[in-house]
Amino acid sequence: MNQPGDNQQFDRDGYRRNVGIIVCNSSQQVLWARRARRDGWQFPQGGIEPSESALEAAFRELYEEVGLESGDVKLLGSTVKWLRYDVPYAAKYSHIRRTRQFRGQKQRWFLFKLIAKETSVRLDVTPKPEFDHWQWVDYWSPLEHIVKFKRRVYKQALTELEPMLTR
């Protein structure tokens, strides 16, 4: 699933390589999680390490953020292209700007179906959990609740991945 240049952490335009993860259940609801120490909800996501593919990063982030292992889910598909969003407060990341101008994230999105029991979802597998609560929500519900600067990418990902729900 990798494209040429996938092993670079930032592209030449300042976008950080990242994966977005949508986990659905048999009722076609999606896992929606609340950020720990913050008042925001989102899908699991995370950066791609230089030595890993986007799919490898998706499985790593899936475990780190919601405790699901590869055997707990079935991969239904991914977005074909990278989806990009600008981070409005990117200038605050001076430690990143020293190496390359940071504009935002470019994401490859993955759709997984939970095939294990719901009790497999665990938010406490790392010393500093990313999330402190999760719930199942209707497939399109996240568009109403995600921060504005991510909304377009969420819509693109949900639209492209929706047909894979019923395959």
Buried (b) or exposed (e) across 2-37, using 16+ Cβ within 10 A? Answer: eeeebeeebeeebbbbbbbbbbbeeeebbbbbbeee
> For strand 29-35 and strand 41-42, is the pairing parallel, antiparallel, or unpaired?
antiparallel
Task: State the amino acid at position 107 in one-letter form.
Answer: Q
> Whole-angstrom Cα distance, residue 35 to residue 100?
27
Which of 19, 119, 13, 28 shows the shortest CA–CA distance to 68?
Answer: 119
> Which has more pLDDT, 89 or 140?
140
Contact of 116 with 107, CB cutoff 8 Å: no
Check pLDDT > 70 for residue 95.
no
> Whole-angstrom Cα distance, residue 62 to residue 19?
10
Instruction: Quick: pLDDT tens for 52-94.
Output: 999 999 999 999 999 999 999 999 999 999 999 998 875 555 4
Residue 151 tokens, joined: 């909304």
What pLDDT was estimated at residue 100? 57
Domains of the chain, by residue range, sit at 15-166
Check pLDDT > 70 for residue 135.
yes
pTM: 0.88
Q: What is the mean predicted confidence (pLDDT) over 25-49?
A: 94
Q: Which residues, in sequence order, are bridge partners of residue 108? A: 19
> Which has more pLDDT, 99 or 60?
60
Q: What is the mean predicted confidence (pLDDT) over 113-140?
A: 97
> Whole-angstrom Cα distance, residue 57 to residue 146?
22
Task: State the amino acid at position 45 in one-letter form.
Answer: Q
> For strand 83-86 and strand 15-24, is the pairing parallel, antiparallel, or unpaired?
unpaired
**CATH number of 15-166, picked from 3.30.1490.480, 1.10.645.10, 3.40.109.10, 3.90.79.10:** 3.90.79.10
What pLDDT was estimated at residue 4? 36
Q: Which residues, in sequence order, are bridge partners of residue 32? A: 135
